[in-house]
């Protein structure tokens, strides 16, 4: 059977479904958080921005409302923890990110935080919170998207202990460094205190993240929930092309060293490479034909940002800078693409007598989710959907994630599992992003069921 997500009627009567907490209140909180923005008329909440500070306060209140002990760490992550019946047992960490992209949807990241808190609140209401078999800690990570500093996972990377000490010196477009942003928010962090944020792997049982799918598969299958098999690896580059700035009216075309035209050619060549890697990648390079085959199904590249100087319509630019975001399931394949692309960038710039610089801003290897955690999430999703919908024939789907998640960083600390929630049209990183109320409910119920069977 498939779920339209609009089922109502006698669902409300079943006592242990908590519609008020897991649907009504959770949806209300998502809408409330969706309005906590630095943008005027659109949602933007980047690392430790004024809106992020307001979001921290709201999330902390909700955690306290669920009976959790809360604190904010020195990277700006919000923690809510309950020790349960065995305080010395390894803890389950569960959460997602509170930051957003620019002109974002209100579910990306926030859904995982709200679902975790609401499920724990339901346990508090039915008296099971203190009986949890192991400590459970909700973490709202401060920076997963990496919009402001281009390195992502600043929050989860600190907890996982994978941030290099130089992280604090990374600066944004306005040359403000991470450590300055922290100081502006009266968080006095040093390299030592950054390194101390790392959790001891022996104190952690696993990490679970509830997140919207940001793709069309669950909607197409008619299922509200799905289990994530793995997460594609990703590389972010910053390419700067420099030429000779000049008068738009006087320099003959044959004498130009135009970085804008060069950047245009570089971007189209990258698009062609990623559309048909098998045509571009020579097999004898460090790329086996199996990697090339896997590339053609999963390789994606995006230029999301481009800027130029001096950016005047009658001036041949002196410099053009653009971002590159490349992802693939296969790490070797992705590395081969980066190698081949870099070679082509230098060749084309040479031919055009412009100079270029390729800066590696971020690399994250592909992650395979833990099979035991994944099967527990699958049965939790199954029992949630069965409660909501009566009997269900099909199996809960499993799928890959092209989007990155904090689980990639957390996989360096502990085993990870992810539960995907259907989103309308698979649209995300857009104000059109939408999750049905009943699918929010299903996510909360699945989380509750997972926690009850820890």
Residues that bind ligand UGY (CB under 6 A): 144-146, 152, 234, 403-405
108 versus 330: smaller Cβ distance to Mn ion:
108
Select the binding partner of residue 210 from Mn ion, ligand UGY, none (C-beta < 5 to 8 A, by kind).
none
Select the binding partner of residue 404 from Mn ion, ligand UGY, none (C-beta < 5 to 8 A, by kind).
ligand UGY
3-state secondary structure of 364: strand
Contact between 323 and 266 (Cβ < 8 Å): no
Q: d(Cα 113, Cα 111) in Å, to the nearest integer?
A: 6
Contact between 86 and 80 (Cβ < 8 Å): no
4 backbone dihedrals φ, ψ, rounded to 5°? -75, -25
374 versus 428: smaller Cβ distance to ligand UGY:
428
245 versus 302: smaller Cβ distance to ligand UGY:
302
Nearest-approach distance from CB 431 to Mn ion, in angstroms: 13
Nearest-approach distance from CB 156 to ligand UGY, in angstroms: 10
Contact between 112 and 225 (Cβ < 8 Å): no
Nearest-approach distance from CB 271 to ligand UGY, in angstroms: 18
Element (H, E) at 97: strand 91-97
152 versus 438: smaller Cβ distance to Mn ion:
152
Element (H, E) at 62: helix 50-65
Q: Which residue is nearest to ligand UGY (CB)?
A: 404
Please give the full DSSP string across 201-224, using - where no structure is assigned. GGGEEEEEEEEE--SSHHHHHT-S
Nearest-approach distance from CB 234 to Mn ion, in angstroms: 12
Select the binding partner of residue 146 from ligand UGY, Mn ion, none (C-beta < 5 to 8 A, by kind).
ligand UGY
CB neighbourhood size of 225 (10 A): 26
201 versus 304: smaller Cβ distance to Mn ion:
304
For the four alpha carbons of 383, 385, 391 and 395, in that order, the dihedral sign comes to negative
Nearest-approach distance from CB 328 to ligand UGY, in angstroms: 13
**Who contacts 18 (Cβ-Cβ below 8 Å, separation ≥6)?**
118, 122, 125, 444, 445, 448
Contact between 212 and 104 (Cβ < 8 Å): no
Dihedral angle over CA of 11, 12, 16, 20, nearest 10: 130
Nearest-approach distance from CB 361 to Mn ion, in angstroms: 17
Nearest-approach distance from CB 364 to ligand UGY, in angstroms: 7
84 versus 146: smaller Cβ distance to ligand UGY:
146
22 versus 55: smaller Cβ distance to ligand UGY:
55
3-state secondary structure of 302: strand
Select the binding partner of residue 152 from Mn ion, ligand UGY, none (C-beta < 5 to 8 A, by kind).
ligand UGY
Nearest-approach distance from CB 206 to ligand UGY, in angstroms: 20
Select the binding partner of residue 417 from ligand UGY, Mn ion, none (C-beta < 5 to 8 A, by kind).
none
Select the binding partner of residue 378 from ligand UGY, Mn ion, none (C-beta < 5 to 8 A, by kind).
none
Select the binding partner of residue 277 from ligand UGY, Mn ion, none (C-beta < 5 to 8 A, by kind).
none
157 versus 259: smaller Cβ distance to ligand UGY:
157
- Please give the C-alpha separations between residue 427 and each of 104, 108, 215, 297, in angstroms, as whole numbers: 11, 10, 7, 20
432 backbone dihedrals φ, ψ, rounded to 5°? -80, -5
Residue 345, burial from CB neighbour count under 10 angstroms (0-12, 13-18, 19+): buried
Nearest-approach distance from CB 305 to ligand UGY, in angstroms: 13
331 versus 389: smaller Cβ distance to ligand UGY:
331
CB neighbourhood size of 110 (10 A): 30
Q: d(Cα 306, Cα 295) in Å, to the nearest integer?
A: 26
Nearest-approach distance from CB 442 to ligand UGY, in angstroms: 22
Contact between 154 and 177 (Cβ < 8 Å): no
Select the binding partner of residue 34 from ligand UGY, Mn ion, none (C-beta < 5 to 8 A, by kind).
none
Residues in touch with Mn ion (CB under 5 A): 108-109
44 versus 144: smaller Cβ distance to ligand UGY:
144
Q: Which of 112, 210, 278, 245 is nearest to 420 (CA)?
A: 210
Select the binding partner of residue 109 from Mn ion, ligand UGY, none (C-beta < 5 to 8 A, by kind).
Mn ion
């Amino acid at each position: 059977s498939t779920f339209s997500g609009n089922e109502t009627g006698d669902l409300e009567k079943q006592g242990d479904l908590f519609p008020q907490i897991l649907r009504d209140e959770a949806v209300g909180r998502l809408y409330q958080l969706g309005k906590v923005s630095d943008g005027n008329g659109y949602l933007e909440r980047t690392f430790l921005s004024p809106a992020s500070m307001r979001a921290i306060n709201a999330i902390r209140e909700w955690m306290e409302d669920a009976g959790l002990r809360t604190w904010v760490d020195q990277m700006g992550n919000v923690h809510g923890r309950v020790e349960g019946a065995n305080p010395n047992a390894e803890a389950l960490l569960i959460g997602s990110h509170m930051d957003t992209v620019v002109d974002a949807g209100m579910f990306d990241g926030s859904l995982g935080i709200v679902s975790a808190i609401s499920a724990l609140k339901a346990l508090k209401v039915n008296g099971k919170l203190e009986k949890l078999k192991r400590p459970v800690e909700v973490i709202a990570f401060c920076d997963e998207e990496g919009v402001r500093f281009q390195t992502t996972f600043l929050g989860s990377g600190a907890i996982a202990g994978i941030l290099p000490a130089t992280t604090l010196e990374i600066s944004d477009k306005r040359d403000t460094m991470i450590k300055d942003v922290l100081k502006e928010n009266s968080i006095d962090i040093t390299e030592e205190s950054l390194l101390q944020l790392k959790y001891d792997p022996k104190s952690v049982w696993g990490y679970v993240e509830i997140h919207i799918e940001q793709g069309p598969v669950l909607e197409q299958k008619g299922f509200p929930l799905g289990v994530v098999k793995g997460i594609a690896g990703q590389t972010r580059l910053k390419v700067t092309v420099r030429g000779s700035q000049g008068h738009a009216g006087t320099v003959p075309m044959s004498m130009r060293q135009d970085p804008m035209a060069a950047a245009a050619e570089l971007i189209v060549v990258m698009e062609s490479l990623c559309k048909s890697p098998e045509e571009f990648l020579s097999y004898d390079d460090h790329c086996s034909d199996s990697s090339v085959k896997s590339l053609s199904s999963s390789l994606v590249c995006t230029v999301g940002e481009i800027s130029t100087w001096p950016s005047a319509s009658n001036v041949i630019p002196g410099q053009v800078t653009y971002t590159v975001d490349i992802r693939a399931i296969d790490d070797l394949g992705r590395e081969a693409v980066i190698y081949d692309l870099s070679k082509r960038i230098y060749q084309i710039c040479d031919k055009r007598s412009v100079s270029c610089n390729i800066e590696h801003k971020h690399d994250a290897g592909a992650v395979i989710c833990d099979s035991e955690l994944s099967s527990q999430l699958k049965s939790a999703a199954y029992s949630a959907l069965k409660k909501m919908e009566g009997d269900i024939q099909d199996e809960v789907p499993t799928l890959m994630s092209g989007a990155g998640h904090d689980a990639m960083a957390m996989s360096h600390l502990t085993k990870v599992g992810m539960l995907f929630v259907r989103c309308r049209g698979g649209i995300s990183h857009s104000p059109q992003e939408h999750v049905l109320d009943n699918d929010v409910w299903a996510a909360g119920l699945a989380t509750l069921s997972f926690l009850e069977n820890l």
